[in-house]
Amino acid sequence: MAAYLVRRLLLMIPTILGIMLISFVIVQFAPGGPVERVLAQLQGQNTAMSRVTGGGGDLAGRGGTAQAGGGETNSRYRGAQGLDPAFIKRLEQQFGFDKPAPERFLKMLWDYARFDFGKSYFRDVSVLQLIREKLPVSISLGLWMTLISYAISIPLGIRKAVRDGSPFDVWTSGVVIVGYAIPGFLFAILLIVLLAGGSFLQIFPLRGLTSEGWSHFPIWQKVTDYLWHITLPIVAMAIGAFATSTLLTKNSFLDEIRKQYVLTARMKGLSERQVLYGHVFRNAMLIVVAGFPGAFISAFFAGSLLIETIFSLDGLGLLSFESIVNRDYPVVFANLYIFSLLGLVVNLISDLTYSWIDPRIDFEARAA
């Protein structure tokens, strides 16, 4: 197992490098960027000023003053016409684009290896501080969704396995498939329309995880207020999350029920409940329990963007989306790096959990 663990850890290095390299190359060819964003803002200000003053006027920008209405510049940036080339050069230096792309990529890798993610281009705060501020919201959503989906899927999967082929199994399968097919964001909009003052009832709040003045509430009111706010986002995220784990639980139990040791236990006179929970449950739940870390990370990363946007939850999903739109590359690449690294680590933890729960699983022997 030690050799397998070392091999997996070493494989993380080229995997991370590949992810960051591909993303970096894509960004180089993507239209727009932080420099273009500032230039577009300046040109918009210049157009508005020209309409008022009849043209001319100095524009104060980041890092210096740009003369509007001057001669054309041979800049590679769209919207740079009429701006002082020295000002554009200062912008490039400020954002680090005065260096060649390979040098910038190598510097980024060196900084990220030391978990130095720099500062946001447009928020004037360190990237790590931004992530720390948004992390509790995303963790809260991911943890609750994982717990609720497991709380539904395990009992339901066991019941479906015991009553395989019955009308209960058939109609619950239909419900699970329909729930899985409904997009979470669409269900979120429906919940808002029905229960958050959209057109019918106004039972739940529309935005945020807590009410104003939450820090001054007594502890019981803090808990109830938090649960009140998080109900609709969690329901919207969990509507289809339990489908896969439900079917996985059912199939795992069916596979164990058909084994010889179950027949032997029944022949000894044990009741169905004793057979199911005394023998089958422990073996059938191995794959479900071992997959918990991966399920949590999947819930933590996937599906939260639209839910956070719809319910105005200031988490990592919304932060990543806004950073992409604003071309805030330090935040974009830092999120990508952290998410990729966590995903690789959690996959390794899941494999180790399988081996720890069931010693018969030997990844090292399989790799050999």
Residue 287 pLDDT exceeds 50:
yes
What is the per-residue pLDDT for 144?
Answer: 85
- In this structure, the number of other CB atoms found within 10 A of the CB of residue 59 comes to 19
Q: How confident is the model at residue 367 (pLDDT cuts 50, 70, 90)?
A: low
- Asked whether 290 and 349 are in contact (CB, 8 A), the reply is no
CA gap 260, 210 in Å, rounded: 53
What is the rounded CA–CA span in Å between residue 72 and residue 74? 7
The CA angle 87-92-93, to the nearest 5 degrees, is: 95
- Count of CB atoms situated within 10 Å of the CB of 67: 15
Tokens encoding 295: 């399920």
Q: What is the pLDDT of residues 239-262, one digit of tens each?
A: 777 787 888 888 888 888 888 888
Six-digit token pair at 348? 């390794």
Predicted confidence (pLDDT) at residue 60 exceeds the cutoff of 70: no
In this prediction, residue 18 carries a pLDDT of 92
Name the average pLDDT for the chain.
78
37-56: string of b/e by CB count within 10 Å (b at 16+)?
bbbeebbebbeebeeeeeee
Please state the pTM of the whole predicted model.
0.71
CA distance 247 to 157: 6
Q: What is the pLDDT of residue 304?
A: 67
Residue 21 has what pLDDT? 93
* Exposure b/e, 256-288, CB count within 10 A at least 16 = b: bbeeeebeebeeeeeeeeebbeebbeebbbbbb
Q: Does residue 61 register a pLDDT over 80?
A: no
Task: Tell me: pLDDT of 366 over 60.
Answer: no
Q: Is the model more confident about 341 or about 43?
A: 341
Task: Tell me the domain boundaries of the chain.
Answer: 36-98, 133-367
The Cα–Cα gap between 69 and 97 comes to 25
- The two three-digit tokens of residue 93, written as one number: 């230096």
Look up the CATH number of domain 133-367: 1.10.3720.10
Q: Which of 101-105, 132-136, 207-211 has the lowest mean pLDDT?
A: 207-211
Asked whether the predicted pLDDT for residue 308 surpasses 70, the reply is: yes
- What distance, in Å, lies between the first and last C-alpha atoms of the chain? 12
The pLDDT value given to residue 17: 92
Per-residue pLDDT, 351: 75
For position 362, what pLDDT does the model report? 63
Instruction: Give percent of the chain above pLDDT 90.
Output: 7
What's the confidence (pLDDT) of residue 51? Answer: 42
Helices (H) and strands (E) in the chain — how many of each? 18, 2
Using CA atoms, how far residue 318 sits from 26, 138, 188, in Å, is: 21, 10, 16
Q: Amino acid identity, residue 343?
A: G
User: For 7-47, what is each residue's pLDDT tens digit?
Assistant: 888 888 999 999 999 989 988 777 777 777 777 777 665 44
What is the average pLDDT across 196-203?
76
What percent of the chain lies above the pLDDT cut of 70? 80
Lowest mean pLDDT among 205-219, 312-326, 343-357: 343-357
User: 17-21, 55-59, 220-224 — which is least confidently predicted?
Assistant: 55-59
Question: What letter does residue 196 receive in the DSSP assignment?
Answer: B
User: Measured between alpha carbons, how far is 234 from 118 in angstroms, rounded to an integer?
Assistant: 33
